[in-house]
Amino acid sequence: MAMPELKQKLLLYELAKIGFRESVYSPEADHIKMQPDNDRTAAINGDGDISYKSEQRDYVLDTIKPLVDRVNEAYAAWEKSQGVPFENLSQFRVLVEYNDVMLAARDDTESGRGLHFVTWRYDFDRTGVEQGFYTEDFNAAKENFAARSGLIPGEKLFTREQAADILATIDYSLENDNDFYLTYGKEESLKSIADTLRRVYPNIETQRKTGQSPAKPKSLAEKMQAAQEKVKTQETQSGKNKTNMRDERE
């Protein structure tokens, strides 16, 4: 069976976001060629299987396969979905709902994008919805739905911004640790945590503000020096205040 048109568009859109803007779908071969003019590049068929050369293995498994899995999951949810039961939201379809919270989606592929996701809470008599959270990121939408609906306690989840900050701090510490004791014996563990964050939060590094790095942790000596300077500043300011008080009395 040929790859459904919606799945084609979703895959092409997601591939374009990671740099494969020339990818095309071939009806004859029923696959998407990631770089049409390169016979050695990867291809994705209608079942979501990926063909690739051995030298591409790491990149395919780390980047392309998670992308294909997300598209397949989102497409399967869309295929089983039903329309939102409110006339003014007829362009959205309900993917799942629990505890008066729904996860819905809208097909934006005609405008050259993908699926647009939203989580809504039903109002008290279920005649409408409120408090929408909108995103094009399916994983972010699922995380928000799980937390808002109570499927997973919110305090057990990192926000994407928090995860990005943690990853940035780990990377910076591993690359710039002049205080060796901070990472001594922990390198592999920290690298494993960083790999997990990148896998669980796709494109997490785009969350970081460009041009900014986390501040390097201060050493004990630097903290003591800063404390001493703070005391000196306070003493100087206190002396000035006393002088001003004497001047006022005179």
Q: Give the 3-state secondary structure of residue 157.
A: coil
Q: Picking from 17-21, 124-128, 158-162, which range would have the lowest pLDDT averaged per residue?
A: 158-162
Q: What is the pLDDT of residues 177-206, one digit of tens each?
A: 655 556 566 777 888 888 877 766 666 666
Question: What one-character-per-residue DSSP string does 210-228 give?
Answer: TT--PPPPPPHHHHHHHHH
Is 134 a residue whose pLDDT tops 70? Answer: yes
* pLDDT over 90 percentage in the chain: 33
Is 60 a residue whose pLDDT tops 80? Answer: yes
Which residue reads 């989606």 in tokens? 105
| Domain ranges, ordered by start, for the chain | 5-79, 82-155, 160-207
* pLDDT over 70 percentage in the chain: 73
pLDDT tier, 38 (very low <50, low <70, confident <90, very high otherwise): confident
Q: What is the pLDDT of residues 79-102, one digit of tens each?
A: 999 999 898 899 999 999 999 999
DSSP assigned state of 62: I
Which pLDDT does position 196 carry in this prediction? 78
Is 249 a residue whose pLDDT tops 90? Answer: no
Q: Is the dihedral of CA 71, 73, 76, 77 positive or negative?
A: negative
pLDDT tier, 215 (very low <50, low <70, confident <90, very high otherwise): very low
Cα 55 from Cα 93, distance rounded (Å): 41
Cα 189 from Cα 171, distance rounded (Å): 12
Residues 96/110, Cβ–Cβ less than 8 Å: no
